[in-house]
Structure 1
Amino acid sequence: MDDLTRRIAAILRQPQLAGLATITEDGKPWVRYVMTVASRDMVIRCATFVEARKVRQIEKNPEVHLTCGVTDPHEMVPYLQIQGRARLDTSREARHGFWTSMLAKIFDGPDDPKYGVLEITPYRIEYCDVAAPEPQVWTAG
């Protein structure tokens, strides 16, 4: 793993609030907050209601954009701009594997039929550092 990939992975593996953009049915961007965490393979996941508007939008157009990395607005730290493709996973394995007690406030457990996991597979990530004039770019190989 090269240095850029390591720095990106260190940001992605922290559970955090992120801005997720999808494309609406009429072709307009729409952004909402989601709580994300990534696995070692850099697939980013977040919980969602299966019937959520974002799920319908992703079914029509899986292209998404995610911004994450700043957890405290008073700290100037590197952040990520991510282009990827998303899909809904409602398999038992995905729902149980992503489940945390925090989700119990929203869903009736990992087998709740309203609960699903969005999986975002990045293909381009910009590592933006406030000390650098241009971002460093990672692309999926």
Structure 2
Amino acid sequence: MNKQQLEEKVQQILDKNQIGTLASIKDNKPFSRYMTFFHEEGFHLYSATDKDTHKVEDLQENDQVHILIGYENKGLNDTYLEIEGKAKVKDSNDVKQMVWNDDLEPWFEGPDDPNYVVLDITPSEIRLMNDADHQPHRLEL
């Protein structure tokens, strides 16, 4: 699979899936939780969260994250992504407005809610797993 084909497959998975797991480092150990991810063009990811969560504390000490996204629970051969990267906590109005949608209303009063922040995730490597040839395909960014 060439780089363009790999990028297209990765983009398709990101377009089709929003729910995945985000692992951060807490007390020098991985800690995972389900998150909703949004993305614009490319592979940059965003996830809304409350500023007073453990993940925000974790990221202030270690910005390294690992994401699993795309597994659809249809069987052992589901194609999914493993994403390694760095996350920054953003509270700028521009980023909060970009990510805001009605699905966030149960948790936040609106895009101006002072507790609402956005995790801004820049991938360094994406691995396409369980593709048709059952070999991981690595996309370095």
Same fold by TM-score, threshold 0.5 exceeded?
yes
Higher mean displacement: 51-60 or 123-132: 123-132
Asked if structure 1 preserves the Cα contact closer than 8 Å seen for 2:24 and 2:58, the reply is yes
Higher mean displacement: 91-100 or 5-14: 5-14
CA distance in 2, matches of 1:73, 1:102: 23
Q: Map 1:25-104 onto structure 2 (within 5 A).
A: 26-70=27-71, 72-75=72-75, 76-104=77-105
CA distance in 2, matches of 1:15, 1:9: 10
CA distance in 2, matches of 1:74, 1:133: 16
CA distance in 2, matches of 1:6, 1:96: 27
SS in 1 for 2:41: coil
Deviation per CA, 1:40-87, whole angstroms, max 9, x where unpaired? 1311111000111101101111000000002x3125431000100001
Identical counterparts, % of pairs: 31
SS in 1 for 2:87: strand
CA RMSD of aligned residues (A): 1.4
Classify 1:68/1:40 alpha carbon distance in 2 versus 1 (closer, same or farther; 3 Å): same
Which residue number corresponds to residue 19 of structure 2?
17
One-letter code of the match for 2:52? Answer: E
SS in 1 for 2:105: helix
Could you tell me how far 1:9 is from its partner in structure 2?
A: 1.1
Could you tell me how far 1:15 is from its partner in structure 2?
A: 4.5
Q: What is the TM-score with the length of structure 2 in the denominator?
A: 0.92
Is 2:131 aligned against 1:123? no
Gaps of 5+ in 1: none
Gaps of 5+ in 2: none
Which residue number corresponds to residue 114 of structure 1?
115
Which residue number corresponds to residue 138 of structure 2?
137
One-letter code of the match for 1:135? Answer: P
Asked if structure 2 preserves the Cα contact closer than 8 Å seen for 1:89 and 1:118, the reply is yes
Q: What is the TM-score with the length of structure 1 in the denominator?
A: 0.92
Deviation per CA, 1:6-31, whole angstroms, max 9, x where unpaired? 1101111335210100000x201100
Higher mean displacement: 60-69 or 33-42: 33-42
SS in 2 for 1:119: strand
CA distance in 1, matches of 2:66, 2:9: 19
Classify 1:129/1:14 alpha carbon distance in 2 versus 1 (closer, same or farther; 3 Å): same
Could you tell me how far 1:115 is from its partner in structure 2?
A: 0.3
Which residue number corresponds to residue 7 of structure 2?
5
